[in-house]
Structure 1
Amino acid sequence: MSKKKIIKIISVIVGVIAVFIIGTLITYNVMLSPVSKDTTSITFEIPYKTTSIEVLESLKDSNLIKNVTAAKIYMKLNKITNIQAGIYELNKAMSTGEILKSFKDGKVIDDEITVTFVEGKRMPYYVDMIAKNFNYSSDEVNALLTDKEFLNELITNYWFISEDILNKDIYYPLEGYFFPDTYNFRKEASLKEIVLTLINGLAKKLAPYKKEIENSGYSVHQILTLASIVELEGVNDESRSGVASVFYNRLKDGWTLGSDVTTYYAVKKDFSSELTKEDLDTCNPYNTRSNCVTALPVGPICSSGLESIVATINPASTDYYYFVADKNKKTYYAKTQSEFNAIIADLKNQGLWYVYN
């Protein structure tokens, strides 16, 4: 082989390597660039003893960084080994480097407020809690929660939020999309920041179950809808997977769910009120006690806890179509209406029948 040919081959190899290196560097820098130009503040919490990889995965789930691997490489190259726990004020216009530097420097928020949201509550509860704890009126909160531009931003930015929330029959577009938990906020947090924190709470909880949801045959919206019913119908965490299985069996066979809690939501009554026959027969996209709805309601009826969501994603395998709980919170299951009626009669005879106050 001539010297000229050898030089030519070496040049080609060097060129290919150079192109690969340049391409890799460009990709690396793109992966470290900001997710968007949105400068809206987002409260991000790093709990004590959280590992670096857990922090990076949480950032990715919250749509604050583009790529976990690129972030890990950045940390190694820049010798970022100490991430301080605390509450940080971030935004999507920050690069991965800027975010990680703020963690390294420990730029935590001092002026914070802690708010606890409980499971099984409807959207008006969240509106009231936000208005009560921050300097916003209920009207201002509701205005943001129904703003079409904001809702479309959420649909674009979050894998689990779809156009289902824009259905005109839904009472509150984001019902069921706030995760009930204890959060730390800046005292002067913007409304958008508060709402995104609640949605990011759900994002973190759903992330480990993304593939299971995608393989379930149900949309995320449907999963959250059924989970909200399981949240209110299940008397404790142990009963939720069984309750979920009953509803899945009914859906599979084209039955109505027959859930009173959906009727309460449909007619906008709280659980201290009694349902009338007119309420039960109301033809409403939420009311599964009527014959108008033989599938899932149009949307969630409350915000579910993690146990109800997991039970809905991974229900028990049963052939039951009915359930009832006694006053001691023990749940009984039945395959037929006659079995169900017999259980109720037995509970009443034993003084175990649960009576709503």
Structure 2
Amino acid sequence: MNEEKNSNDFEKKHTNLGKKISLSIIAILIVLGIFIFILGHQYVKESLKPLNPKDKELIQVQIPMGASDKKIGSILQESKIVKSGLVFDYFVNSHNYSGLKAGYYELSPSMSLQKIADKLKKGGTAQPLQGKYGRLLVREGDNIDEIAQSVEQSSEYSSADFKKLMKDTDFLNQLKKKYPKLLGSAFKAKNRKYVLEGYLYPATYNSQKNVTLKQIVNQMVAKTNYEFSPYFKEIKKQNLTVDEAITLASFIEHNHVDKKDQEKIAGILYNRLNSNLPLEVQSSIRYANGKVSGQKLSKKDYDADTPYNLYKNTGFPPSAINNPTVKSLDSILNPKDMTTFYLAYSVNMNDKKVKYYNSDKDVDDLIGNDSVMR
């Protein structure tokens, strides 16, 4: 009996010990699982952000034909465009991005996953975008000084060669004669930094070794004429010159916001013009002073005596401040919310969210703030 009792006690103790060990293991696994989940969630959260918001260097990336979303994510990670290729794959699938296209792209670590996915959905170029004697890319919102840098990178011509051509009176007059409806009003404006600012359409152009610099510029102006000429009648109907419409469109282009906000900002520009108020576009001052987007403006900049200072001068500046797309021009011709009578706006540079105001006083405290644009 005693032996049987001892045997039962031993079995109970053994069973209890086994249960304790099992529970301990389960508890450890649960804690470990929670820890892994938190780390994983944090990793995904961080990977959904731009890899490096301050690094705006454009890196050429080639996406091959037939590449899966997973493969594309891997290429982007290896190219140091995104933090995690797997998270990029998760993002495009969870946001229903289908049909990402092959081609050459210029992407930067500062781009959001959404912006990268949008570009990949739109499609790349069949030829490389970087390197000598190939394809020259004019980006949306580039001005002539920025295009000059692209010319030097992607052709046999220097930045100085390009800027010299932009001042070549004989060449400019040839273009005016070829495209009188497009360029006529631009030649009437005084104190322009460049006559062709606003008329070099954002696109990819042939810059191979056998193509002259004049031919490259001709391609750009011809593309502008092709894209903008369907709007000439509507521009005239709205009592604008082609140059005035393109100038307003360049302000819209600078902000890089969606179509809905573009049209509302257009409404604000018209409200200010109709009220004889200065347009107060910061980007125009930056253009005059050669400062890049987001670069802080000083009191000296705001007080500068230049026709591009739209805080001191009413009406239009001498020219556009960049080369806009047809999307921005269409927004200028279809403004929204003018009856609400917004007079000011601010654009957050980080998330591109736009705020609207009924008076300048509501936005004056944002002047000079690096996180907003106007």
TM-score normalised by structure 2 residue count: 0.58
Q: Determine the structure 2 residue equivalent to 1:88.
A: none
Q: What's 1:10 paired with?
A: none
**2:269 aligns to what?**
247
Q: CA deviation at 1:305?
A: 2.0
Aligned CA distance change for structure 1 residues 338 and 192 (closer, same or farther; 3 Å)? closer
Residue matched to 1:282:
304
- One-letter amino acid matched to 2:330: V
Relative distance call for 1:340 and 1:135 in structure 2 (3 A) is closer
- The match for 1:120 among 138, 141, 160 is 141
Shift of 1:338: 5.3
Please give the secondary structure, in 1, of the residue aligned with 2:277.
Answer: coil
In structure 2, what is the equivalent of residue 189 of structure 1?
A: 211
List gaps (5 residues or longer) in structure 2. Answer: 1-132
Distance in 1 (CA, whole Å) between partners of 2:307 and 2:183 is: 20
Kept in 2: contact 1:263–1:288 (CA 8 A): yes
Is 1:295 paired with 2:315?
Answer: yes
The correspondence for 1:139, drawn from 160, 168, 172, is 160
Whole-angstrom distance in 2 between the partners of 1:211 and 1:225: 17
Contact conserved, 2:185 with 2:242, CA < 8 A, in 1? Answer: no
CA distance, structure 1, for counterparts of residue 165 and residue 351 of structure 2:
42
What is the CA distance between 1:117 and its match in structure 2?
A: 1.5
Aligned ranges for residues 52-67 of structure 1 at < 5 Å? none
Aligned position for 1:47 = none
Partners of 1:238 and 1:163 lie apart in 2 by 29
Paired residues for 1:84-233 under 5 Å? 113-158=134-179, 159-162=181-184, 164-165=186-187, 167-233=189-255
Do residues 328 (structure 1) and 348 (structure 2) align?
Answer: no
What is the Cα deviation at residue 186 of structure 1?
4.2
- One-letter amino acid matched to 2:167: T
What letter corresponds to residue 153 of structure 1 in structure 2?
A: Q
* Partner SS, residue 183 of structure 2: coil
Q: Which runs of 5+ in 1 are unaligned?
A: 1-111, 345-352
Displacement of 1:238 in angstroms is 2.9
Is 1:310 the equivalent of 2:333?
Answer: no
- Quote the Cα distance in structure 1 between the aligned partners of 2:270 and 2:294: 28
8 Å CA contact 1:233, 1:243 repeated in 2: no
Q: Per-residue CA shift, 1:209-262, capped at 9, x if unaligned?
A: 121112110101111111111111353333111111101110011000011111
The alignment partner of 1:325 has SS state of strand
The one-letter code of the counterpart of 2:351 is N
Encode CA deviations 1:247-306: one digit per residue, 9 max, x unaligned. 1110011000011111111222123532111111112111102x2x10011101111122
Aligned CA distance change for structure 1 residues 207 and 126 (closer, same or farther; 3 Å)? same
Say whether the 8 Å CA contact 1:166–1:173 is kept in structure 2.
no
- How far has the Cα of 1:139 moved from its partner? 2.7
Q: Tell me which moved more, 160-169 or 278-287.
A: 160-169
How much has 1:190 moved relative to structure 2?
A: 0.9
Q: Are 2:284 and 1:262 aligned? A: yes
- CA distance in 1: counterparts of 2:363 and 2:371, whole angstroms: 17
Secondary structure of the corresponding residue to residue 134 of structure 2: strand
CA separation of 1:166 and 1:151: change in aligned 2, threshold 3 A = farther
- Whichever residue aligns with residue 139 of structure 1, its letter is A
Q: TM-score under structure 1 normalisation?
A: 0.61
Superposed CA offset, 1:160-202 (max 9, x none) = 1025336451111211110001234443101111001011111
Identity of aligned residues (%): 28
Does the Cα contact within 8 Å between 2:136 and 2:155 map onto a contact in 1? no
Q: Residues 250, 163 of structure 1: CA spacing in aligned structure 2 closer, same or farther, 3 A cutoff? A: closer
